[in-house]
A and B are shown apart, each in its own frame.
Chain A
């Protein structure tokens, strides 16, 4: 079956050379924020994208929603290539693909009432006006656990969890097929985070939504995702069904992430060895494995040849020379 969203060799380079003088002295500096990543999201499934800050996961989200222009690659939505669509058609596309943002304080206009925040996509994308629009907004608010009494309020009157609910209602307003959620719960407290996660899971099932769920928190991704992609320094390192990522990870980076992941279950165990060194931004990266300087199992080959993302098991891909079945 054709996947709902298919990303092929998606690439985004930023020129970070600065002004002409530094360009003369240092030369061109290209940040390969997203470097030829590929993955697919089947219809009705949740694809979890994990990685640490600067790994390119948010950039990937912005590329897919066409908020920024890609350097290369293709993105197929329902079989149609969308990166080269003319701007007019992009508007049509936004009906289908909606986004939930990380910071519920920054992503809602402080001068708009809830009825307008959620009502705007209703009138723009669905074309409903007047009382019908308000009815639809109430319906959406009820779907996310808010109600008609919140219609006339401003964002500052809500708590972080409630604001994120408003953000979710806004994303649902256009009846999208795919929602891209960029760290939707990372600014919330544990107890509220659980409420929002439950809500997302329920909505995803009831509305048969497909979801690209981006997070730095493996626990959260493990709860919601069906398939997990692990990114590091602009590269996709491993893709596998969620059980396999947690039980039988192949890539040393995934293993290190799991080992560094503080869980209560691990409280008696001793600290497992973690990755040494710091994350380096992929500016003019050499043709080598991006993890090589920090990798515990690196070999000579890793410095010379960049490992491609290969299928190592059924439904399990990893980009590592030393990851064997």
Chain B
């Protein structure tokens, strides 16, 4: 197949709330090739989760509204699909894992029943086959003694095991695209390392594409081929991993990289980014990062910078890119 597997074009999402209109996502573009890993990083409220939810059309509308844009999956626009058609895509072609495995598993169903449900609903398998397949997937995500585990309830499992169950459910139908929204944030570092390793391995095995969302640049660096950085609802930079860390273009990316304490360097003081993220109900004109940017000029206050290719494989939305 030519072209990317999934392409998000100029996506803009608003939420109509009592306080006003929240500009959650603004003009976001990215694409995903087959069996590629694309990472989205950004801080709280930058729109990374909303973007990922919108791919599966999981944004409640209202209050949400997809104002403009296209989401092309294998050439078809998902935003024009009906509910029925979307149900055929969700879980089967594109599936998702969430941050908090406890709240996304049903506490009153056994782990085995929940995974088997995927096979029965999406693939139409019989109860018996579904059960056999469930054992197989539990094995696949390296859960110990899958036979007894299938009869356990989510509360009996640790955080790491729950996340493995979530991954098993998401992979049940061997989707083309897996969206992982902060899947390791609630986990301890040694468990996080295990889950990242597992995701990497399964992705290679099934040749699926992965969208990995995290606030942790280090985690994204370990897993992803390409990375997009979001700030206040906009994609500010997108590049191959090595390019992004070696030659970051956008001042926000540069500042973010400098704000992480790196023990091997033993800084005297960290380069914190002054101020806080702008109010998304009333974003500042021009570049949304300009109130916090050290390089801001007059033009940054008036003109929104275009998201363009600054040099091969490196895109950024900034009037004065580079170090």
Contact = CB atoms under 8 A, between A and B. Distances in A.
A201 B270 CA distance: 10
Contacts of B43: 189-192
Interface stretch (B1-9, B57-65, B192-200): B192-200
B77 interface: no
B272 to A, nearest CB: 4
A53 interface: yes
Name which of A52, A191, A219, A246 has the most chain B CB atoms within 10 A of its CB. Answer: A191
A194 B263 contact: no
B189 A219 contact: no
A278 B191 contact: yes
Contacts of B158: 278-279
Contact of B264 (A216, A224, A246, A268): A246
Contact of A265 (B264, B267, B274): B264
Contact of B270 (A161, A223, A276, A279): A223
A263 B262 CA distance: 7
Contacts of A267: 218, 221-222, 241-242, 245
Given A198-B270, A268-B242, A216 B189 contact: yes
Interface string B179-205: 000000000111111101100100000
A276 B216 CA distance: 23
B150 interface: no
A189 B44 contact: yes
A202 B272 CA distance: 13
A193 B193 contact: no
A224 B270 CA distance: 10
Interface residues on A, range: 35 or more
B192 A262 contact: yes
Contacts of A256: 190
Interface string B17-45: 00000000000000000000000000110
Contacts of A265: 262, 264
A219 B263 contact: yes
A220 interface: yes
B264 A274 contact: no
Interface of A: 52-53, 159, 161, 189-195, 197-198, 201-202, 216, 218-220, 222-224, 242-243, 246, 256-257, 259-268, 271, 274-276, 278-279
Interface of B: 43-44, 158, 160-161, 188-194, 196-197, 200, 215-219, 221-222, 241-242, 245, 255-257, 259-264, 266-267, 269-274, 276
